[in-house]
A and B are shown apart, each in its own frame.
Chain A
Amino acid sequence: MSIPSELKRISDTVWELPRSYKAGMLVPARIFATERLIAQMDAGVFDQVTNVACLPGIIDYAFCMPDGHWGYGFPIGGTAAMDPEEGVISPGGIGFDINCGMRLVLTKLTWDEVKPQLHRLVDQLFRRVPAGVGSHGFVRLSHDEFCQVAEQGSRWCLQRGFALPQDLEMTEEGGCFPGADAEKISVRAIERGFNQIGTLGSGNHYLEIQVARPGNIYDEALAHDFGITIPDQVVVMFHCGSRGFGHQVATDYLQTFLAVMGRKYGITTNDRELACAPFRSREGQDYFAAMKCAVNMAFANRQVILHRIREVFADVFGRDPLDLGMNMVYDVAHNTAKLETHEVHGRPREVLMHRKGATRAFGPGMKELPACYRKTGQPVIIGGSMETGSYLLAGVETGSASFYTTAHGSGRTMSRHQAKKQFRGEKLQRDLESRGIYVRSVTWGGLAEEAGPAYKNIDEVVEATELAGLSRRVVKLVPVGNVKG
């Protein structure tokens, strides 16, 4: 049992480690979870979330979401609001895969219409959306053009014909974090990523065809507002990030911060992966501008992939993608730092939100949301394992308890090596097909690592977010076709 004895139950879904738990904690740590989920959390969560609580400038609490698990620096599911004037920015609070995120796309097709074409669809998606180690995208760019992508994100895609205007509106921050500065990224980062636009990556990255079964709709009115309007409607969900480019941006600045953190700024951390610099310092601002480049590249990556998905559907069904109703529900980022205004102790205040393996979940009425979601709250896309299904949630008013942040996925409970020992990729593919899920993967080993039982129960995770008042369930989406990295 890894639960520390100091862990206090604040409510059925809120748990707290007090400042006395660890020397140097500036605020308590709060974990959102049911009793069952907290019992499954590994030792890394408690250690890492309390390390986050030691970072200069942290406001109120270091948080961890119900899908939290052992990460590096922050736990996965870790969230912290920093005072921009007094606080720090840390790549370890964002992750190497900057703006790893989820995108959900509607169709007007029903499962009955798609079923006869499922193999053709998945096979074509598998060919046209490259995945796995060392894969290349179809977009050929010079380094200079890549820098434009990094500064403009989805706007670049719009200019190049890879996006529709409405796609940008349905993307967090319009698909472009302003203030991205390609002068702040290294040539090595460009070299790692400039040919990877339009690629999924590997690990837990995937592209899935899913069905919204009538029995899985939790809130019909909200589902309707989000575009789920017909029984057994088919949707497409995918998960990927900023690829080697973002990984290198984080690696570069981790080293920059490590070199100056103690010597120049007198900051120490419990984990070198939490290397940081004051947000307003030159190094902090340089990283913020470089990180935004990676955020924008990830938005562009997902946008180009959406373009390919639309091409494949158009090809298979012989119809225009818009005639097929292929509009985006939303695109949400998991791994970012962002300046946001939140009410803190009764007053609006600008804070630097670090979210790592956590999703922004703005509630109804928030002005940052597109007009069509101001009443509903923000759509939140939660990716589950390829066996169990995923969820579409909505942000809620009570989300202020976590600076409007919720879970991002189901969270692993089994190591990759254990999963490979326990499952065989070929057998898993056959078993899934017999259960009506057609999977294509670049590798059998990679497929085995992502087997459903390696993850927490997604139903429990999303239920916990609802019980904790962080987000509410709208619809569960079950997989029928999957492309794995």
Chain B
Amino acid sequence: MPYRYLEEIATADVAFAAWGETREELFAACADALENVMVADLDAIRRVEEMSVRLTHGELDLLLFTFLNELVFYKDARQLLLRVDSLTITGTPGELVLDARLAGERIDPDRHSLIVDVKAVTLHRFRVSETAQGWEAEVVLDI
């Protein structure tokens, strides 16, 4: 798993760190880390519905913030659990564009081994940074 839940911060909520060799891998890892807070076994999410999203932001970290908020939005508005099928980030700083193909299905409490709801993505300690190995992020979710 290219993510790890952080025990030592934000005790009442859930914090995670995630990694990727590329920005795209990092974003997909963060998406899985978020969904995995709600669903114990991500493999239980079948590819029943597919959707495309296009998001833009000038800054990479806030593009990730916007992307994760999109997943939280679809969880409530359409009861969808979604994983990244493909994702690209194009453009230059100041004008970044994310195109993602997401696949998943409606929440099924009988099959999805639900854990706890993600209320929101917070900006507390929210960070995306480039490392020698690629990219990493730290995110605190409100539970």
Contact = CB atoms under 8 A, between A and B. Distances in A.
A72 B40 contact: no
A44 B115 contact: no
Contact of B107 (A72, A134, A275, A418): A134
B99 interface: no
B55 interface: no
B73 A192 contact: yes
Contacts of A193: 76
Interface in B1-46: 5, 7-14, 38, 40
Interface in A441-485: 442-443, 445-446, 449, 485
Nearest to B16: A417
B107 A133 contact: yes
Contacts of A248: 73, 76
A421 B94 CA distance: 43
Contact of B116 (A133, A243, A415): A133
Interface in B100-143: 106-107, 109, 113-117, 119-126, 140, 142-143
Interface string B51-70: 00000000000100000010
Interface string A402-415: 00000000011111
Interface residues of B, number: 38
B9 A44 contact: yes
Contacts of B120: 96, 247, 250-251
B77 interface: yes
Contact of B119 (A71, A96, A271, A273): A96
A203 B11 contact: no
A445 B40 contact: yes
A420 B14 CA distance: 12
Contacts, number: 139
Contact of A446 (B10, B73, B79, B115): B115
Q: Is the interface of B mostly helix, strand, loop or mixed?
A: loop
B83 interface: no
A275 B124 CA distance: 10
B141 to A, nearest CB: 9
Max chain A CB contacts within 10 Å: which of B7, B10, B11, B143?
Answer: B11
Interface string A228-250: 00000000000000011001101
A132 B113 CA distance: 11
Contact of B113 (A70, A73, A244, A443): A443
A366 to B, nearest CB: 30
Nearest to A357: B12
Contact of B122 (A134, A244, A273, A415): A273
A449 B117 CA distance: 12
A191 interface: yes
A202 interface: yes
B116 A192 contact: no
B12 A446 contact: no
A51 to B, nearest CB: 10
Max chain B CB contacts within 10 Å: which of A71, A251, A254, A413?
Answer: A251
A7 interface: no
A42 B124 CA distance: 16
A72 B113 contact: no
Max chain B CB contacts within 10 Å: which of A69, A70, A188, A412?
Answer: A70
Contacts of A115: none
A119 interface: no
9 contacts: A132-B109, A134-B106, A192-B73, A201-B119, A251-B69, A445-B113, A445-B114, A445-B115, A449-B116
Given A69-B11, A97-B119, A192-B73, 20 more contacts: A70-B9, A70-B12, A72-B13, A73-B122, A73-B124, A96-B122, A133-B109, A133-B116, A191-B77, A202-B117, A248-B73, A248-B76, A271-B123, A273-B126, A412-B12, A417-B14, A418-B7, A443-B113, A443-B114, A445-B116
